[in-house]
Amino acid sequence: MAQNVEPVPNPQAPLTPYICIRGAAKAIDFYKKAFGAEELFRMEDPSGKIGHAEIRVAGGNLMIADEFPEMDFRSPEALGGTPMTLHLYVKDVDAFVDRAVKAGMTVDRPVADQFYGDRGGKLKDPFGYIWWISTHKEDVSPEELKKRAQKAYQERQ
């Protein structure tokens, strides 16, 4: 019953996250090491703070800048956490997460098969952001998804 599914579902949305990080240059270096990110662009202000940068991670773009509280642009560290999770599809979640953990990310939820057809896990980076990393493994019909979701919710109780 093996299916030929795309590990990164198509089409990807054209939405680009823009994150604020205390120490953006350090974060860019970290994402290069942890994710194999490619730096596309960097613009610094006269003090050396990054006013805007762009990186590509697993085919998707991410915009990054340092904190600028005077413009109401604050990092998770300044806010005491983040309400946002960055979701990233990759070809091999296990290898990708292994690399990220070796670079310094912490596992919040280990990689596992999920009822909705993905294999994924939840990580936290040193800058306060939460990342859900997944590989799509199975296309699940809406009817089957509903059944699996009900079962998963019952198992949590």
Q: What domains can you pick out in the chain, each with its CATH number?
A: 18-156 (3.10.180.10)
The residue among 93, 140, 133 whose CA lies nearest residue 116 is 140
pLDDT for 6 equals 80
Dihedral pair phi/psi, residue 97, rounded to 5°: -65, -40
pLDDT for 5 equals 83
Tell me the pTM. Answer: 0.86
- Which of the residues in the chain have pLDDT under 70? 1-2, 9-14
pLDDT for 66 equals 97
The β-bridge partners of 19 are: 64
Can you read off the two tokens belonging to residue 142? 């809406």
Omega before 126 within 30 of 0, i.e. cis: no
Contact 49, 120 (CB under 8 A): no
pLDDT for 8 equals 72
pLDDT for 39 equals 97
pLDDT for 109 equals 97
